[in-house]
Amino acid sequence: MSIPPVASPHMLRPFDPRQLGLWADPSELIVYAVMGNRYAGPTVLVHTPTLMRRLTELSKTVKTAVFLDEPFPTRTTLERVDQMLDQYSARELDALAGYVGATEALKRIHVDEVLSGVDRSTVISVASPLIISREKLKQALETNSVLPTWSCPFLLVAHAGGKAAVFEETFESSRR
């Protein structure tokens, strides 16, 4: 993996899980606050050159990366991350993301003609937090011949064939 010289280490602020009070093993997890205000709707976009540099700087023991769209995560976000990490492990995933449902009216169109409405309950956008396998993310970055300057780690892994899913509240409540 070649690292472009324009990488800015300040666009991904690293946190040790202990700093945030997470239950995860600090030797196997890194948390990044995504800086730079680059979004595609609710989807968090990461500066790809910075991501590549950060991955090469990590200890070999780090197996999972968490991406948050808050410079200093709130307690609510951190509780969600703990729940998501449990689900990520239980479902044996390569990537797990939060999501938000569509709120705008959606229509299926052809040229200038509206063909039909779309049921909004079936449409979501990937959102923070993102839980990502370091190995699958590294593979996705290495095998992608054209990388955009800004990318979503979850979508990189999903497009590379990784096992990706969205966080399921019902899954959590059924385990209690």
pLDDT of residue 172: 53
Using the Cα atoms of residue 40, residue 89, residue 165 and residue 93 in order, give the sign of their dihedral: positive
pLDDT at residue 39, as a whole number:
56
Query: In whole angstroms, what is the distance from residue 35 CA to residue 33 CA?
Result: 6
- Predicted pLDDT of residue 100: 85
Q: What is the pLDDT of residue 171?
A: 58
Q: What share of the chain is helix, strand, coil (3-state, %, to 5)?
A: 35, 30, 35
Q: Which domains does the chain have, with CATH numbers?
A: 9-170 (3.90.550.10)
Tell me the C-alpha distance between 156 and 162, whole Å: 9
Q: What percent of the chain has pLDDT over 90?
A: 54
Q: What is the pLDDT of residues 58-104, one digit of tens each?
A: 999 999 999 998 888 999 999 999 999 999 999 999 999 998 887 77
Specify the pairing of strand 64-68 against strand 29-34: parallel
Tokens standing for residue 78? 């951190």
Distance CA 10, CA 89 (A): 29
Check residue 173 and give its pLDDT: 52
What is the reported pLDDT for 132? 98
Amino acid symbol at 102: A
Q: Contact at 8 Å (CB) between 148 and 51?
A: no
Q: Which pLDDT value is given to residue 68?
A: 94
Its pTM surpasses 0.85: no
Give the chain's residues under pLDDT 50: 1-9
Question: What is the percent of the chain with per-residue pLDDT over 70, rounded to a whole number?
Answer: 88
